[in-house]
A and B are shown apart, each in its own frame.
Chain A
Amino acid sequence: MPTPQPWPQAVETVITAEAGLNLDPLIDMRMEALVQPGDSVGLGSPILKDRRHPEWVVTAPMSGRVAQLELGSGRRQANLLIHHDEKVKPHQFDIHAARAECDSKSGSNALRELLQSSGLWMRLRSRPFGRVPAGDAIPAMIMVIAVDTRPLAPDPRLAVEGEALDHLKLGLQALAALFDGPIRFYQDEGPAIVEESDRVTIARAGPLHPAGLAGSFIRREVRSGQDLNIWEITAEDVADIGYLLSEGSLAPTRLVSVAGPGLRETRLVRCQPGADLRELCYAYMSPGPRSILSGSVLEGREARWLGWRDRQVTVLERHDAHPQPHWLEGALRRASRPEPIIPTSAVEHALGGPMPGMALLRALAIGDDEAAAELGALAMLEEDLALVDYVTAASPRFTDLLRACLDRIEAMT
């Protein structure tokens, strides 16, 4: 994927004047507003709460004034706009009880409570199905992901160096106090970022996408099935937990790369979650129509605000004008079934790992949920098949087929 060179060495901190909310589509919330338009909110103040799971809380990504807050149909979507205001102080959490639990490694109630009230609980993601875990759930294993092999992604090492490394260690300590299971720290082939201990073990990923995805690791190392219960969280979010435990407020920024062929200059910035992508990109775009994706070029979506779990922004050239196809070609295209997938070595690589990938793709394509689950579909999320979709230009997309399959299995359980 081309991007203007050189790749930046320095990271600039940018807090955009506006911020919003772009939730992960897998987070299924029935929202309840806790603030009104016009209210002042500090960084970390609760803004939205789920009606069925009161432990799922969305907090303010920056200090400022709420300009707009509308709940969409069925209270499933929120349209949030916050204007930045430096004068409002960040929300302070009471961390003493949680800190004591973390240091003494006994009990986890206050720690759990703190993570849920600060909204950091929403950064966790569980497999199978990729939902935010329920407030009292316990995982069999936690994966801390400190590697990102997506095209043009920032190096997660930059996000956890210096002071953030101490926060990362504190965050890992907190995770170890919270849960009993093993913690796998998934990183690149370079020197170890954290020391191994009896609870934390390091797993390594190769440099080529999709090796850095949690799904690749799980399919390689873990037997998948209905009883699979693995939570994943990025190393930067773990460092945010450590930041919260040492400072008493939420970390204000995350590391984001702004790259792509539609720019004049590639940038690495630290910006708030939910940052305004237009402000991040407009001054650096090359002339011509462009589209701004939140996320990588493989699975990103056009968006106004930075996505919930996204750590990169991709600017592409926009091709809106499609020439009118010949009427016979158009009729054939509409009437015909989609073209089959030819198993070339590109598809083999995109599936990653030693699993019988083409068998899985066939099971997904014909809607055979049982075979798909046997072949490891439960360990996968959309991002794991995004590269297959890119390589084969498949229609319908395998990511959609996988989600439909997972939804059917989830509805049965």
Chain B
Amino acid sequence: MIRGIWNRETVAMVWVAAALPLAVTWLLAEVNAGALRLIFVLIVGGLCQALFTVIRAQPPSLAGLVSALLIAMLAPQVGPLQFVIGIAFGFVFGELVFGGWGRSVLSPAVVAITFLGFAFPTGTWPHLPVQIGWATIPAAGLLLAFGVLPWRALAGAVIVLVAAGGFTLDLLGSAVAVVLVFILCDPATCASSPLGRWLAGALFGLLVALFASVWPAPTTQMGVSAALLVLLSMPLLDELAVALWRARRRFRHG
């Protein structure tokens, strides 16, 4: 018997490869400040993972690199001490205490970013330039080609966002695109049933449209908040899909 190669770390490698165009575009736009921020997050996140590796023999995952990039890109600007607390909180309570990437409910990026946003409301949220939105297209293409991205969630969200925005791409700005591809469509935390994925995408689109109409906040904050709510409801959506499947089966086969 032979074994295949699509274990967790292979998927994580594809995940990191897809984030490269995003990282390059963002670093070209931000230059030195961005690089410094990214290195800072990588060091703090890496220390958290190393701590869990030594204490709990929990193998680290390459997917942490993408989480670090997302925190550096999307988190509000706060002082260095606050930033350390936020990153460590995100990595430890978003992912590592659950058993690492693939066992957690939330992504560390979304926990760290919302934590910083709620705890330090004076921090200014970053505005992502437009080319970063374009850079998510090759990333999503690569992930779709390797079958890593749950395409139903992506399609559901894009359809709802385009429809709610009056058939324009107004709602699908850079920040929302990045959050959609790299936080909502993270295969480890996204719903696992086909129907659950459609629902998750649609719910994300609806929440972003709702926030855009009633909440005068930066798009980054809106996108991350919507993603947090959808991620928290993922198990419910999955359970709903399984219950529907059972009911239909009982109806069809008597």
Interface size class of A (residues with CB under 8 A): 35 or more
Among B2, B148, B238, B246, contact of A374 (Cβ-Cβ < 8 Å): B246
Known: A223-B253, A297-B1, A339-B102. A344 touches B245 (CB 8 A): no
Among B102, B151, B238, contact of A340 (Cβ-Cβ < 8 Å): B102
Interface SS majority for chain A: loop
Is the CB of B188 closer than 8 A to any CB of chain A? yes
Q: How far is the CB of A292 from chain B (nearest CB, A)?
A: 12
Is the CB of B77 closer than 8 A to any CB of chain A? no
- Contact, CB under 8 Å: A393 / B5: yes
Q: Kindly specify which of B53-61, B131-139, B214-222 makes contact with the partner chain.
A: B53-61
Q: Kindly specify which of B6-14, B23-31, B155-163 makes contact with the partner chain.
A: B6-14
Query: With the chains together, A375 CA to B193 CA distance in Å?
Result: 13
Among A337, A340, A343, A391, contact of B4 (Cβ-Cβ < 8 Å): A391
- Contact, CB under 8 Å: A316 / B2: yes
Q: How far is the CB of A16 from chain B (nearest CB, A)?
A: 24
Is the CB of B242 closer than 8 A to any CB of chain A? yes
Among A332, A344, A374, contact of B147 (Cβ-Cβ < 8 Å): A344
Q: Tell me which residues across on chain A come within 8 A of B4, comparing CB atoms.
A: 390-393
Query: With the chains together, A344 CA to B197 CA distance in Å?
Result: 12
Query: Which of A299, A301, A331, A391 has the most chain B CB atoms closer than 10 A to its own CB?
Result: A391
Q: Kindly specify which of A45-53, A207-215, A353-361 makes contact with the partner chain.
A: A353-361
- Contact, CB under 8 Å: A341 / B147: no
Q: Tell me which residues across on chain A come within 8 A of B148, comparing CB atoms.
A: 342, 344-345
Query: With the chains together, A174 CA to B15 CA distance in Å?
Result: 56
- Contact, CB under 8 Å: A346 / B6: yes
Binary flags per residue of A108-121, CB closer than 8 Å to B gives 1, else 0: 00000000000000
Is the CB of A251 closer than 8 A to any CB of chain B? no
- Contact, CB under 8 Å: B7 / A293: no
Q: Tell me which residues across on chain B come within 8 A of A392, comparing CB atoms.
A: 4, 6-7
Binary flags per residue of A283-310, CB closer than 8 Å to B gives 1, else 0: 0000000000100011111000000000
- Contact, CB under 8 Å: B193 / A391: no
Residue in A closest to B244 when the chains form the complex, CB atoms: A356
Interface size class of B (residues with CB under 8 A): 35 or more
Q: Tell me which residues across on chain B come within 8 A of A299, comparing CB atoms.
A: 1
Q: Tell me which residues across on chain B come within 8 A of A316, comparing CB atoms.
A: 2
Known: A297-B2, A300-B1, A391-B4. A359 touches B192 (CB 8 A): yes
- Contact, CB under 8 Å: B58 / A341: no
Residue in A closest to B242 when the chains form the complex, CB atoms: A356
Among B1, B252, B253, contact of A298 (Cβ-Cβ < 8 Å): B1
Q: Tell me which residues across on chain B come within 8 A of A355, comparing CB atoms.
A: 245
Known: A299-B1, A343-B187, A393-B4. A222 touches B253 (CB 8 A): yes
Query: With the chains together, A117 CA to B225 CA distance in Å?
Result: 70
Query: With the chains together, A332 CA to B9 CA distance in Å?
Result: 15
Among A301, A336, A344, contact of B6 (Cβ-Cβ < 8 Å): A344
Q: How far is the CB of B111 from chain A (nearest CB, A)?
A: 18
- Contact, CB under 8 Å: B8 / A341: yes
Is the CB of A411 closer than 8 A to any CB of chain B? no
Is the CB of A412 closer than 8 A to any CB of chain B? no
- Contact, CB under 8 Å: B8 / A340: yes
Is the CB of B123 closer than 8 A to any CB of chain A? no
Q: How far is the CB of B166 from chain A (nearest CB, A)?
A: 32
Q: Tell me which residues across on chain A come within 8 A of B5, comparing CB atoms.
A: 393
Binary flags per residue of B90-101, CB closer than 8 Å to A gives 1, else 0: 000000000111
Query: With the chains together, A177 CA to B44 CA distance in Å?
Result: 73
Q: Tell me which residues across on chain B come within 8 A of A333, comparing CB atoms.
A: 59
Is the CB of A335 closer than 8 A to any CB of chain B? yes
B residues apposed to A, CB below 8 Å: 1-9, 11, 53, 57-59, 99-103, 146-148, 150-151, 187-188, 190, 192-194, 238, 241-242, 245-246, 249-250, 252-254
A residues apposed to B, CB below 8 Å: 222-223, 293, 297-301, 316, 331-333, 335-337, 339-347, 354-356, 358-359, 374-375, 389-394
Please list 9 pairs of residues, one from A and one from B, whose beta carbons are closer than 8 Å in the complex, sorted by A's number. A297-B2, A300-B1, A301-B1, A339-B59, A356-B193, A356-B245, A391-B6, A393-B5, A393-B6
Nearest 8 A-B pairs (CB), nearest first? A340-B102, A345-B147, A223-B253, A358-B192, A335-B57, A339-B8, A393-B3, A342-B11
Extra inter-chain contacts (7) besides given A343-B187, A392-B4, CB under 8 Å: A223-B250, A336-B59, A339-B9, A340-B99, A342-B102, A342-B188, A344-B11
